[in-house]
Chains A and B, each alone.
Chain A
Amino acid sequence: MREFLTKFRDPEIARALIKDVRHLATRVADRLGRRVVLMEVCGTHTVAISRAGLRSLLGDLLDLRSGPGCPVCVTDYADVDRMVALARLPGVTVGTFGDMVRVPGSDSSLERERAAGADIRIFYSPADAVAWAAAHPERELVFLGVGFETTAPAVALSIKEAGARGLKNFSVYVNHKLVPPALMALLEDPEIKVDGFILPGHVSAIIGRRAYSFLEAFRLPAAITGFETNDILEGIRQILKMMWGKEPRVVNGYTRVVREEGNKIAQREMAAVFRVGDASWRGFGVIPGSGLTLAAPFAAFDAAARFTLPPVVPRVPAGCACGEILKGKLTPKECRLFAVACNPTSPVGPCMVSSEGACAAYYQFERHYGERANHA
């Protein structure tokens, strides 16, 4: 691993890439008469860009905006409220990936429900949740199926596994979301001005480069990139080259992991268990065709159908700008509450909670740069 991975973090290479990126960005920005706006659509990229300080290093030429890249952040308040309601049901254990636990809903969070006595368990893998359900037949295990195309195949496999084992006490609250329809929603919003997309590496490992071909109709350059500093710089460099040459395409800068057609096995597993449906995203509302539901043969594993939940009336906390931040219309520092009333120890919105949330990343790595430094 060390043999080659370190090269993707090598500071000498980074220096050369930054030089080249600045050179290209100067020319493109000069031609545009303004900074180049690129959006990263993956929470892991948001964190990597913030950590490497790229936003401040390139900020005079490039406006690196965060988009709807964290599956926890884009989970709608109503869905968080339903997860909380599930956790309150007697005999139910809620299983989840870690980050979901602290996300505030309208009047509670899973963490608060746990403090009040609810049984909430964090699983590293959905397969562990199935094993837990098998070992605890007296409890109903509801797994929260949150995540993009990256986690959906693993959840699909866990549902098949539960079926094969004949488990009667395992179900999934399916809240998976798909990335390409969200990109489409961004492009159709006239208020959003983005010159290019930095595309998520691991979503792309599943869906493949070809899944983004629709971007070509918008004449928008985009690059799939990995998560090391040099990967990201290389992706930015490729986008700028395309802008300069006026040849927008979707390029694959993460060829060591992402294939043209993606992972066929994972796609097949997803297609066997799920159907595409509409989904509600925080900040966006309903995006057609952007979510997953269970296919008919697996309907018995649908937690939303198995349990009767009280109606939810979602309430968005006053002043929180998460919705606008997820669409790239505002940056975290432009939220009035950033680093004032809202910080990682007492987060107001999900973007400050999730480890891949834009507000949390900016708070941790960038709050001392720029205009809001005095508040930090």
Chain B
Amino acid sequence: MCLGIPGKIVAVSPEEHMAEIETFGIRQRISTLLVGEVAVGEYVMVHTGYAIEKVDVAEALERIRLWEELLAHEGVFDEVPRSGDRPGTD
């Protein structure tokens, strides 16, 4: 029914509570009524023409950092678990 589209704010018209976002090269006008003030350069998640939330870039980068760590330590998981290899009590 409705896909969430993430986009970067490229223009704002605060009086109309509207903004323009760019997603992979495509521009779209959206309402900012549900997220309050936005600034050029911020990211938002858009649903049926309304920004429903701001995208927290710092959080996204932190998740990526954790994944890169996982990648770096991949070998740790190579050992095949045996049955009986379980913590706690059943």
Contacts and interface: CB of A to CB of B under 8 A. Distances in A.
A265 B88 CA distance: 44
Contact of A16 (B1, B56, B70, B88): B70
B74 interface: yes
Contact of B81 (A23, A147, A246, A258): A23
B55 interface: yes
Counting contact residues on chain A (CB < 8 A from B), the size range is: 35 or more
A17 B70 contact: yes
A246 B88 contact: yes
A210 interface: no
A224 to B, nearest CB: 12
Interface string B48-90: 1110110111011111100110110010010011010111101
Interface in A209-256: 227, 230, 234, 244-246, 255-256
A12 B68 CA distance: 10
Contact of A263 (B52, B56, B59, B77): B52
Interface string A24-54: 0011001100000000000110000000000
A103 to B, nearest CB: 11
Contact count band on B: 35 or more
A27 B85 contact: yes
Interface string A1-22: 1101101101011001101100
A125 B49 contact: yes
Given A31-B90, A205-B52, A256 B34 contact: no
A16 B81 contact: no
Interface of B: 1-4, 6-8, 22-24, 31, 33-36, 43, 45, 47-50, 52-53, 55-57, 59-64, 67-68, 70-71, 74, 77, 80-81, 83, 85-88, 90
Given A98-B1, A151-B47, 6 more contacts: A5-B6, A12-B71, A30-B81, A72-B1, A147-B2, A202-B47
